[in-house]
Chains A and B, each alone.
Chain A
Amino acid sequence: MNAWGMDCNELVELVTEYLEGTLGAEARANFEKHLGLCGSCRNYLEQMKLTRLATGTLRAEDVPADALDSFRSAFREWKKS
């Protein structure tokens, strides 16, 4: 039994399963035990959440006006047919 629950290099590979809620009960308990003891891994988990947050904040790039115009005209063509 690992006194730390698991090692840091194991934890970083389980972060996504942890966030997705797909870790088994035992692995989850060990994951959380490790987090309780290791500030670096708490920071790592925070950074993975921040990464997800940042991706979720990306605005869709603006579609260029000329591209929209071509879609509009294609749409009108189709309506006529």
Chain B
Amino acid sequence: MPLDLVVNVTIAGVLTGLVYGLMALGLSVIFGVVRVVNFAHGEMMTIAMYAAVILFGAFKVDPFLAVLPVAAVFFALGYALQAGLINPFITRPEHSQFILLVAVATIMVNGLLIGFGPDARNLQVPYQLESWEFGKILLDKARIYAAAAALATSAALFLFFKYSLTGKAIRACADNNLGALVVGLNVKHLYALTFGLGSACVAVAGCMMILLVDVTPNLGPAYTLLAFVIVIVGGLGSMPGALLGGVLIGVSEALAGLYITPSAKSMMSFGLLILVLLFRPQGLLGRKA
């Protein structure tokens, strides 16, 4: 295997992995605070991808501009979903929450199927075919931009949680729910806010991902599983962990596609997940519960 090919594939894996990481970050933030696993996460991702396709098809809006309205709408929808449906399920057993979100996911997947049919959709922007060349190293412009946007969004979220008052309040809810209630925080509102933020992350990730792959309605469950794998490998509730997990999975997928066969790529991810769950259940960067 020529070295420059391996290097190029690895770089592409890292860049795609950062977008994966942003998607998983949304799941991680939601689980870390609300303690509910969002089984509709990948389905939300595909909705964002369709949104970018539509905005581009109808109004020629570049995905990097489409990010803003799509993320805003997703924030509102995520807030409504948590406030209306999920908040009453916080104290229910896990299998109840699972069915609730599976039902939501089913409606999402099939709503897309009704609206857009089963065929793959994509969009074409001029810079998708351009790249920078450094000797034998090729850097796809679309991939670089997408990864940069993912990093910027993650950084913004990180700063929000670290320094803003609301971010601190949300972290307080996650650390000690009862304590947060005692000091008078509106926990349900903060939960909804968190779900909104997690949804906005997915929206950005979806708008970026559509530059890299085609979308079909059935892609949702695969992305949901992918997000779980990443978040558990990186450490549930750890923000840098989600990005690290994303990069690891992105690279392992890319290399498995190169060395073994593309269809075996998710076997690598699930193998990695099983190993991490067994030997470091809190994830690579997670704290012990």
Whether A associates with B in a native complex is: no
- CB within 8 Å of A: which residues of B? none
- CB within 8 Å of B: which residues of A? none
